[in-house]
Structure 1
Amino acid sequence: MLSNEQKQQINALGMPLQTVEEQLQNFVQGFPFLEIQRAATIGDGIQVLTEEQLTTAVKEYEAAAPTQVLVKFVPASGAASRMFKNLFGFLEKGSHSLEDDAFVRQFFESIDSFAFYEDLNRELQKSGSDLPKAIKEKNYARILTALLEDEGLGYGNLPKGLLKFHAYGSENRTPVEEHFVEGAQYGVGKDRTVRLHFTVSPEHQKKFEEKIAQVRPVMEKKFGVTFAVDFSQQKKTTDTIAVDLSNQPFVEDNGDLLFRPAGHGALLANLNEIDADVVFIKNIDNVVPDRLKDTTTTYKKAIGGLLLRAQSQAFQALKALDNGVTEATVEHAKQVFTQTLGGKLPDAFESQGLEEQARYLHNKLNRPIRVCGMVENTGEPGGGPFWVKEPDGSLSLQIAETAQLNLDDAGQKGIFKASTHFNPTDLVCGIKDYTGKPFDLMAFRDPKTGFITQKSKSGRDLKAQELPGLWNGSMADWNSLFVEVPLITFNPVKTVNDLLREVHQ
């Protein structure tokens, strides 16, 4: 399928030829659907913390945090262009009327409620106008050009993390700054250091660095902590090959093979290089003003406390098994797996011998651990929590996207419809083993959980492949705890008008 010349191109890109050939085979064979057994619900896979349990978990986290290397891992490569899709459309139409466009009408009617209002006003003043005057004259195109285009504020081409989201009088903050504040509230670890890691696009990293150089000294003075900030970019070696509709490699006009970014699952390679005891994962745009941060902080600490408790118990059980396989150590490991971690043993487990049970439990316990916040399903897109049967007969908790499920099957569709919660990219992860060594996270993903999507390039249809999603198939073999968190902790900004919602004002 690949010519010698194409193989040389793949080698020059630093991609293993075997990996690319496997990707090509995936297009031919397709990915199997994930067969879900039942939805994880409250009392059956999803915990709800009582006030007492919440307080206890927070205290445990606060006691342990100063001894831990904590990292806040923030996927931040998203461009803001999609936020302004409706405004770009209005601009391209050259329309001067708001009557037929409710979205754009709402934007202009509430324009003084955006945190970027003053910046936009100053931008217009450079050319002898201002916002009130331009709106009175219905000069909407001029306003949008000043907001979106590079000769103005350039918001249409900036990363989402560098747009002004929230107004605080004289101090208006970007999502990057809000993550600094959040970090100071629940991410202060060893040496009173807040470690922030942003995954960014290559073309945006310099702008992030400039913003952080400006923000860091102010935040360190304000909170009395040290901020250690670093960046990574989605690795080119995680890109996946594209094919035409006949599953043949897609060749561009210049003769090169086409490789495309492989979705958020590609960030597993970035996460795998993080040196930390505990990693919080949260998207760049899921931030709120200070007045609403308390709930987020409380629950972040709580799920952090639950993680450290579960990890400690798993480590104790593993060390006890290492010291000797007895009925007591096996029973202890079994309790940790089924009670602390909520795992479901296969039917055949009880008929196994003691040594076999010990090996089985050791393997099950010696894995990365994650605690995932789950919010009530309100129709937002996101991965749902389900019980899935493993090849060994056990049941595990998984987060599944709709693309992974066979919704043409009445039974699977019924289970999907019964799902009550979804994960808003709210995770805390333990990525070191009981000897203190980092896990190779690549060994704990399920490569059969990728996606195939249809796209186009230069007017030609193609098929693209996404790697197993970061919190879906990439974490399929982790131990998972699901905990209900309040809906107020999930406030993504998908369009610019989302910033007009009460939670962002």
Structure 2
Amino acid sequence: MSFTEKDVLQIKKKGITTGEVEEQIAIFKRGNIKVNITEAATVGNGISRISEEDKKKLLSVYEGEKEQHSILKFVPASGAATRMFKALHNFADEFDPEKHELREYLDSTGDKDLQRFFRHLEKLPFYEHALEKARNNHPDYEERTSEVQTQLLVKTILESNGLYLSNLPKGLVPFHKYNTHIATAFEEHLIEAARYISVNGVAKVHFTVAEEDEEKFRSEWKQVKSRVEDKTGVKFEIEYSFQDPKTDTIAVDNDFNPFRTQEDKLFFRPGGHGALIENLDRLKEEIVFIKNIDNVVTESNIGKVVEYKKMLGGKLFQVQRSIFQYLKMLDTGDVTRDKLHEIQSFLKKELFLETESEKEITAEYLKNKLHRPLRVCGMVKNEGEPGGGPFLVKDKDGEISLQIIEGAQIDSDNPEQAKIAREATHFNPVDIVCSLKDHNGKSFDLNEYVDEDMSFIADKTKDGKPLKALERPGLWNGGMAKWNTIFVEVPVETFNPVKTVSDLLKDSHQPA
């Protein structure tokens, strides 16, 4: 592969080398590698269902130990709200009040989310603000037909002379209306964090944001700081980070040559949320809760969410304690054969780690399996929501472990693999708590535990031309493939994402 002098300078400015770009191009030529799922993880076989009695014990463990740890909440929040408002953009482009009646148009689309949006429009947190703005922008608003009013209101929500909501980062879109204020997802994450991660009266929250949006988030924090801290009685330490440009990946054309822009520059794209493993790796805290920016609820619905967050944390502390004890024992080098078998049994029972062949279990082998980052992941019963799922996966060395797998990673053309995929009962809501330090208090190098084979190639376009894009192994998929993993069932009430604007009309987003 030959690069021009200008190419080399562009690559160097990204913080990477031509060799790394060539490695990425080799991945395109190789193609996507499908995973080998052996079973769907189900309750009793990879997923733990915690009894009410055990849940109380885990809550007690968490409350009893959390003050002894450094804890942080990590919220990927760089996504824009564009997709959330996609149906409204389509409506604004297609609906002609001179030709259509609203009901007739909605029936023709068959879009139930859009129908719900217009049926309960007045319950949206920004409805009154949008209505006021529409009236100010259009003095004859009240004289117009209801169809015209509807169209103007939607355009006011979307366009730059109105609220311009679809141009905001999703974390700053108004989500919930209370008697005294309207709260964004950003604010709700802070309210929630105060309930389970505060240590000595301080809650640390880290948001990954688009670099151009950092000042918007900082401005929002200035506006809500007094209200949030007065309400919770907790002080906050808020951090921001960006996706490092060096994690961007080269795009190629259909002949696997580097894709070039109209200015004849190499075209790099963000490497997907898997690139955030770098951001996670830079954290100094020991315990990190991970949750997506759009998965929040109103304060009246927060109780169960907090309860299960603490339960997951208690499970992490419980398992971490055993792992650390075993590692310290193995470090001495004086371990009996019976103790080795006990540790092997622990690996199978708690972490579902098994080898294909019967090999002699050594202290070094067990130490290698135990000395890894640990994550406890909440799993929700699958009720039709999109998202990756929990599976038992066999790697190229024949070893089986628990993994979160996206549908695109499964070989759907293989009848046996497709059958296993259909047997999945749960999906991944991104409800994760992690332990990032070892038994000696040393931070893991998280890049050592990424499965690079789980990168993903997708077909995209740029300037009207087709291209192939490379996404790094997903943060909780290939990015954590070599972590020790535990799946725990959590109730669906703990998963309340806002994928479309109509989701804000669900009960979990409506104040009591």
**Aligned match of 1:389:** 394
Displacement of 1:397: 0.3
CA distance in structure 2 between the aligned counterparts of 1:122 and 1:249, rounded to whole angstroms: 50
Between the aligned residues of both structures, percent identity stands at 43
Matched, 1:254 2:271: no
**Aligned match of 1:475:** 480
- Candidates 422, 433, 453, aligned match of 2:427: 422
**Aligned match of 1:2:** 2
**Aligned match of 2:296:** 287
CA distance in structure 2 between the aligned counterparts of 1:169 and 1:135, rounded to whole angstroms: 31
Secondary structure (helix, strand or coil) at the match of 1:205 reads: helix
- Check the 8 A contact 2:351/2:402 in 1, yes or no: no
**Aligned match of 1:334:** 344
**Aligned match of 1:41:** 42
Displacement of 1:332: 4.2
Matched, 1:206 2:206: no
What letter corresponds to residue 463 of structure 1 in structure 2? Answer: K
CA distance in structure 2 between the aligned counterparts of 1:368 and 1:59, rounded to whole angstroms: 23
Secondary structure (helix, strand or coil) at the match of 1:101 reads: helix
Could you give the per-residue CA deviations for residues 117-155 of structure 1, whole angstroms, max 9, x where no partner exists? 122133234336598776746323321222111221110
CA RMSD of aligned residues (A): 1.8
Secondary structure (helix, strand or coil) at the match of 1:374 reads: strand
CA distance in structure 1 between the aligned counterparts of 2:325 and 2:143, rounded to whole angstroms: 69
Decide whether aligned partners of structure 1 residues 137 and 340 sit closer, same or farther in structure 2, where only a CA change above 3 A counts: closer
What letter corresponds to residue 153 of structure 2 in structure 1? Answer: I
State the TM-score, normalizing by the size of structure 2. 0.94
- Check the 8 A contact 1:310/1:341 in 2, yes or no: no
Displacement of 1:234: 1.1
Secondary structure (helix, strand or coil) at the match of 2:78 reads: coil
**Aligned match of 1:22:** 23
After superposition, residues 85-484 of structure 1 pair within 5 angstroms as 85-93=86-94, 95-96=96-97, 97=100, 98=102, 99-102=104-107, 103=111, 104-127=114-137, 129=139, 136=146, 138-189=148-199, 191-327=200-336, 328-349=338-359, 351-352=360-361, 357-484=362-489
What letter corresponds to residue 19 of structure 2 in structure 1? Answer: Q
| 158-167 or 454-463: bigger deviation | 158-167
Displacement of 1:215: 1.4
Q: Which runs of 4+ in 1 moved over 4 A?
A: 102-105, 128-135
CA distance in structure 2 between the aligned counterparts of 1:411 and 1:39, rounded to whole angstroms: 12
**Aligned match of 1:32:** 33
Q: Tell me, which stretches of 5 or more residues in structure 1 are unaligned?
A: none
What letter corresponds to residue 188 of structure 2 in structure 1? Answer: E
Secondary structure (helix, strand or coil) at the match of 1:2 reads: coil
State the TM-score, normalizing by the size of structure 1. 0.95
- Check the 8 A contact 2:457/2:469 in 1, yes or no: yes
In the comparison of the two structures, how many residue pairs are matched? Answer: 499
Displacement of 1:29: 1.1
CA distance in structure 1 between the aligned counterparts of 2:434 and 2:144, rounded to whole angstroms: 50
Secondary structure (helix, strand or coil) at the match of 2:470 reads: strand
What letter corresponds to residue 392 of structure 2 in structure 1? Answer: W
Decide whether aligned partners of structure 1 residues 218 and 135 sit closer, same or farther in structure 2, where only a CA change above 3 A counts: farther
CA distance in structure 2 between the aligned counterparts of 1:436 and 1:131, rounded to whole angstroms: 64
CA distance in structure 2 between the aligned counterparts of 1:441 and 1:134, rounded to whole angstroms: 59
Displacement of 1:242: 0.3
Secondary structure (helix, strand or coil) at the match of 1:306 reads: helix
CA distance in structure 2 between the aligned counterparts of 1:292 and 1:161, rounded to whole angstroms: 19
Could you give the per-residue CA deviations for residues 263-321 of structure 1, whole angstroms, max 9, x where no partner exists? 11011111111111111111011111122211111110001110111111101100111
After superposition, residues 57-96 of structure 1 pair within 5 angstroms as 57-93=58-94, 95-96=96-97
Decide whether aligned partners of structure 1 residues 387 and 128 sit closer, same or farther in structure 2, where only a CA change above 3 A counts: closer
Could you give the per-residue CA deviations for residues 428-458 of structure 1, whole angstroms, max 9, x where no partner exists? 1111111101101000010000111001011
Decide whether aligned partners of structure 1 residues 305 and 109 sit closer, same or farther in structure 2, where only a CA change above 3 A counts: same
CA distance in structure 1 between the aligned counterparts of 2:503 and 2:282, rounded to whole angstroms: 34
- Check the 8 A contact 2:36/2:395 in 1, yes or no: no
CA distance in structure 1 between the aligned counterparts of 2:401 and 2:369, rounded to whole angstroms: 11
Decide whether aligned partners of structure 1 residues 137 and 338 sit closer, same or farther in structure 2, where only a CA change above 3 A counts: closer
Q: Tell me, which stretches of 5 or more residues in structure 2 are unaligned?
A: none
